[in-house]
Amino acid sequence: LENWSLQSALGQLQAKLSASEAESEAQIEQFLAQDLSLDSFLESFCQSRTRSHVCRTQLEKLQELLQK
């Protein structure tokens, strides 16, 4: 049961990371297409990248736990 829940958490973190990365890419595309102002882009992009970084860090730590 413990292994299953760790695997489930790993999958959820991977999905969350992928979604966050896709969101960042979409924000870049919107900014380059001039659909977002610089201020809006910077605010949303920084939030998105922070979420990605936190998620990536959690994912790496969980992977370390699973390897032990």
Output the tens digit of pLDDT for each of the chain's 68 residues. Answer: 555 688 888 899 999 999 999 999 999 999 999 999 999 999 999 999 999 999 999 999 989 988 87
Q: What is the pLDDT of residue 3?
A: 57
Cα–Cα distance for residue pair 37/44, rounded to 1 Å: 11
Q: What is the pLDDT of residue 51?
A: 93
Q: What is the pLDDT of residue 24?
A: 95
Helix, strand, coil share (%) of the chain residues, nearest 5: 90, 0, 10
Phi then psi for residue 62, to 5 deg, are -65, -40
Inter-residue contact 41 to 31 (CB < 8 Å): yes
Q: What is the pLDDT of residue 9?
A: 85
